[in-house]
Amino acid sequence: MTTHHRCWVYGDNVNTDMIFPGRHTYTLSVPEDIAAHALEDLDTTFAASVRPGDVIVAGWNWGCGSSREQAVTALKYAGIDVIIAASFGRIYFRNCINQGVLPIVCPELHTLVNTGDRLALDRRAGTITAQEQIFAIPPLSPTVQAILDAGGLLSLLQHRFKGDSYP
Amino acid sequence: MTGRTFAEKALARAAGVPDARAGDTLDVTPDLVFSHDNSAAIRRIFEQTGAPRILHPERVAIMLDHAVPAPTTRHAQNHAEIREWVREQAVAHFFEAGRGICHQVISEEGLVLPGETVLGADSHSTHAGWLGAFGAGVGRTEMAALWATGEIWLRVPEAIQITVTGTPPPTVTAKDISLRILGELGADGGLYTSIEFAGNTIITLPLDERATIPNMMAEAGAKNAYLPPDQVVFDYVQARQTRVFSPIYPDPDAEYAQRYEFEVSGLEPQIALPHQPDNVVPISDVAGEVVHQAFLGTCTNGRITDLRAAAEVLHGQHVQCRLIVIPASAQILQQAVQEGLISILLEAGAMIGTPGCGPCMGNHMGIPAPNEATISSANRNYWGRMGTPSAPVYLGNPYVVAASAVTGRITDPRELLA
Ligand code: SF4
C-alpha cells in the first residue's frame, strides 16, 4: 500500500539537543508538552505546523549526540512515524526501532526534496518515490523487524510478560 | 580464518557464543547495566512492561549525577522517585548525589573490568573502554528491557583501528589527541563502529587521563571504543575488583574496516569551536577570543590529573573570568583536597561544585547568559548544550581551561607556564 507524506527537510549532523533540548529532559513528561518543544532550537515553525503523517528527511548523522529517547518521542508525539536520513546516530537509530518509528537509511533523498515536498512510501514493496525517482528501503534484521512489527520494544515486552507469543 | 577484533571477541563472550563476526546480531547479557537521573523515566517504562521485578538487581547500578544536589523541586522529586525504586527493587549498586559521575563511579567501584560488557543509559558509555571493557550507550526503553530481561540485541560493529604514536609535548594531553582524531574523523567518522586503539602513546599517558579518549569517541558516532589494558590498568582494577576477569585483545590479523595513524609528538593544544566537537583547530588559530566563563570538570576531564594540570597553571595567578571546577567524583575531590590543589584553585578565584555533571548539559551550576562564551573541558559543545542557546562553548584541555580563566581569553597554557 502506498502512502503519501509531506517532508520536513534538514541537513547533516542534527544532534539530539537540536531535536529535543537537554534543558527540558528532566522537566517535561507529558507527550503534548514534549512534542511542543520538538526541534525548537533548529526550526521554530516545526512544532506549530507539523501534521500527523509528515516525515523527516535528513542528511548525514541525524540524531547524533546524547542517548535521550525524547529526541525520538518528541517527533513521534508530533505525529512523525517515519524518519529518512542519509545516516543515523546509532543510539538514535535504536531508539527509533524501540519506539516503533521506522528509520530509513537513504543517502540521496535529502538532496532531492525540500520542506513541503511530498513523497510516496510503499512499506510492503520497500520503496520510496520522490521527484519521479525510486529508492529501495534497506531491509532490517529479523530481530529488529520483529520489534518494529510489534509497535516498539515496549509492546514486545508487554506481549512477552503477558505470556503471549508474539504476534 | 582471519583474526577477530576486540568487539567481535567481547560480544561473543557477552552472548555466550564461541565466535562472532561484524554484522551478526546477538542477544547479549551485559555484566553491568547503569543509569542515572534518567532512572525514574526508565522506571515508568519498566512498570508498563508487565515484568514482575528487576531480574538481576545485582547487575544494576544507579547513580544520581546529572543534577545534584537537586536544583528544583521537579529534580528533587525525580531523585526521590529513583531512591524509592532502588529500595523497592533492592538495586545492588546505588550511589547518592555527590558520589560522582556515572562513568567515573563504576570505574572507581570496580564495577567494570577488562573484557566485560557494560551498557549504560548514557551516550558516553564508550568511556568503559579505558579499562579494556566493551561499553556502549542504550536508550531508556532498552534499559527498561535490560532490567526486565537481563539481555538485549546488539549488532556486532565493524571496527576501526587508530594507532597513536609519539610523545605529546607538555600541556598536550589525551584531550588534544581525542580532539585531533575527532577533527580528522568527523562527527560520523566512527558511526556504528568499534574504535580500537593501538600504538605506543596511550600507555605513556597517566591512567586517569586515558579515559578521555574512549569517552570522546562517542562524538565520532562510535558504538564503543577500546584501549588495550596494560599492567597499570590491572593494578588499578585489582585494588577494587569483586569478580574475576580476563582481558581481551584483538588478534594481530583482525579485520578493520579502516585504519588511521596519528603521530602526536608535535601536537599543539587543540580547540573544538562552537557548535560541534569535530570542529577542531589548533589553539593558535583561535587564541585571544574572549570567554566569560571557564568550566573544568565532567566525565571527560574532571579527574585528578586534570585538577593537577589546572593547579599548575593557576598557582599564584588570579582569574579574570568565572572559573567553575567540579571534580568528577567525591574520591577525586578528596584527593585534590589532600594534595592541596583545592586551596590553589580557591586562592586563584575558582568556585568548586559538588561532584557530578554540573553545567555540562545545562541543568544548573553555571548556565551562561545569552552570548556569553564558555571554555569547557567537556566532550560536547552543541548549540544550547550548556542551557542557553546562543551561548557558544569552546572545548579544550584542562591546561587551556585554566589558562583561559586567568586571562579571560582563549590562551595557550605554554604562555603562562614558560
Ligand atoms: S559529565 Fe556531561 S557528558 Fe559526562 S555524563 Fe555528565 S552530562 Fe554526560
Q: Which three cell numbers stand for residue B130?
A: 579505558
Contact B141 A95 (CB under 8 A): yes
Q: Where are the beta strands (DSSP E) in B29-133?
A: 32-35, 60-63, 93-95, 117-120
Over its C-alpha atoms, chain A yields an Rg (Å, rounded) of 16
- How many domains are contained in chain A? 1
Among A30, A91, A161, A55, which residue's Cα sits nearest to residue B141? A91
Contact A90 B66 (CB under 8 A): no
The residue ranges of every structural domain in chain B are 6-262, 272-417
In this structure, are residues A139 and A124 in contact, taking their beta carbons and an 8 Å threshold? no
Distance CA B55, CA B303 (A): 34
Distance CA A21, CA A15 (A): 10
DSSP B355: S
Residues of B in contact with A30 (CB under 8 A): none
Contact A26 B384 (CB under 8 A): no
Contact B384 A23 (CB under 8 A): yes
In this structure, are residues B25 and A94 in contact, taking their beta carbons and an 8 Å threshold? no
Low-confidence ranges of chain B (pLDDT < 70): 1
Residues of A in contact with B148 (CB under 8 A): 157, 161
pLDDT at residue number A143: 85
Contact B123 A67 (CB under 8 A): yes
Distance between A20 CA and the closest CA of chain B, angstroms: 11
Beta partners for B165? B263
Residues of B in contact with A94 (CB under 8 A): 138-139, 142
- For atom 6 of ligand 1, which residue has the closest CA? B357
Global pTM reads 0.92
Contact B383 A41 (CB under 8 A): yes
CA B211–ligand 1 middle distance (angstroms): 13
**Residue A118: CATH number of its domain:** 3.20.19.10
Q: Who lines ligand 1 at CB under 6 A?
A: B 66, 101-102, 122, 124, 298-299, 357, 360-361, 378-379
Q: Which CATH architecture has domain B6-262?
A: 2-Layer Sandwich (3.30)
Banded pLDDT at A27 (limits 50, 70, 90):
confident
- How many inter-chain contacts (A to B, CB under 8 Å) are there? 123
B363 touches chain A (CB under 8 A): yes
For B271, the enclosing helix (H) or strand (E) is strand B270-272
pLDDT at residue number A164: 60
Q: What are phi and psi for residue A32, nearest 5 degrees? A: -65, -40
Distance CA A72, CA B58 (A): 30
Banded pLDDT at A167 (limits 50, 70, 90):
very low
CA B165–ligand 1 middle distance (angstroms): 28
Distance between B218 CA and the closest CA of chain A, angstroms: 8
Distance between B244 CA and the closest CA of chain A, angstroms: 30
3-class DSSP state of B397: coil
Distance CA B147, CA B183 (A): 37
Residues of B in contact with A160 (CB under 8 A): 149
Percent of chain A with pLDDT over 90: 77
Distance CA B26, CA B12 (A): 8
Contact A157 B361 (CB under 8 A): no
A148 lies in a domain?
no
pLDDT at residue number A15: 94
Q: How far is C-alpha B66 from the geometric centre of its chain's CA atoms?
A: 13
Q: Does position A165 have pLDDT exceeding 80, yes or no?
A: no
Q: What number is the average pLDDT over the span A127-142?
A: 93
Q: How far is C-alpha B418 from the geometric centre of its chain's CA atoms?
A: 30
- Mean pLDDT for chain A? 92
Residue among B299, B376, B385, B395 to mutate when testing ligand 1 (max atoms within 8 A of CB): B299
Question: Which residues, including other chains, have CB under 8 Å from residue B163's CB and lie 6 or more apart?
Answer: B197, B198, B199, B259, B260, B261, B262
Question: What fold is seen in the domain B272-417?
Answer: Aconitase; domain 3 (3.30.499)
Going across the sheet that includes B293-297, the strands are: B280-282, B270-272, B393-395, B374-376, B293-297, B322-326, B351-352
Quote the domain boundaries for residue A17: 2-137
Q: Note the pLDDT tens digit of each residue in B6-40.
A: 999 999 999 999 999 998 889 999 999 999 999 99
Percent of chain A with pLDDT over 70: 97
The β-bridge relationship of strands B117-120 and B258-263 is unpaired
Question: What ipTM was assigned to the predicted interfaces of this complex?
Answer: 0.87
CA B257–ligand 1 middle distance (angstroms): 29
CA B356–ligand 1 middle distance (angstroms): 8
Same fold? B6-262, B272-417: yes
